[in-house]
Amino acid sequence: GEDVEQSLFLSVREGDSSVINCTYTDSSSTYLYWYKQEPGAGLQLLTYIFSNMDMKQDQRLTVLLNKKDKHLSLRIADTQTGDSAIYFCAENRRGSYIPTFGRGTSLIVHP
């Protein structure tokens, strides 16, 4: 299987919460990231969490990390149409200079 796995699509209604999930395989991961890519644009770093943390909150974004299960999630509260984008999970392994990316989850927000 792939090193970082995400489901490909998620559809939510405007105003609901979105939860995007990610699993990774390397227990030595030190930092885990969430990036957002809007159509025709590059990747924008949304937030990251250090591996010794369980949770990080930043306005409408909540990141949860379960190190035991190697599971990372991104919760977007009160999802808006402007949140429609592809969301990439990435991990940075101990000693590595290069993050490993998942294939991205397309979030579709409908009225």
Partner 1 sequence: KAGVTQTPRYLIKTRGQQVTLSCSPISGHRSVSWYQQTPGQGLQFLFEYFSETQRNKGNFPGRFSGRQFSNSRSEMNVSTLELGDSALYLCASSPGGGPSNTEAFFGQGTRLTVV
Site for partner 1, rule CB under 8 A: 30-31, 33, 35, 40-45, 48, 88, 92, 94-99, 101-104
* C-beta closer to partner 1: residue 18 or 105: 105
Output the smallest distance, CB 41 to partner 1, in A. Answer: 5
Minimum distance between the CB of residue 15 and partner 1, rounded to whole angstroms?
Answer: 29
DSSP string for 51-96:
TT-SEEEETTEEEEEETTTTEEEEEESS--GGG-EEEEEEEEETT-
Nearer to partner 1 (CB atom), residue 36 or residue 70: 36
User: Rounded to the nearest whole angstrom, what is the least distance from the CB of residue 9 to partner 1 in the complex?
Assistant: 13
Q: Which residue, 58 or 98, has its beta carbon nearer to partner 1?
A: 98
For residue 1 the two structure tokens come to 């299987």
Size of the chain in residues: 111
> How far is residue 12 from each of residues 1, 52, 95, measured CA to CA in Å?
27, 31, 38
In whole angstroms, what is the distance from residue 13 CA to residue 15 CA?
6
Contact between 72 and 63 (Cβ < 8 Å): yes
CB of 100 to partner 1, least distance (A): 8
Q: Which is nearer to partner 1, 104 or 109 (CB)?
A: 104
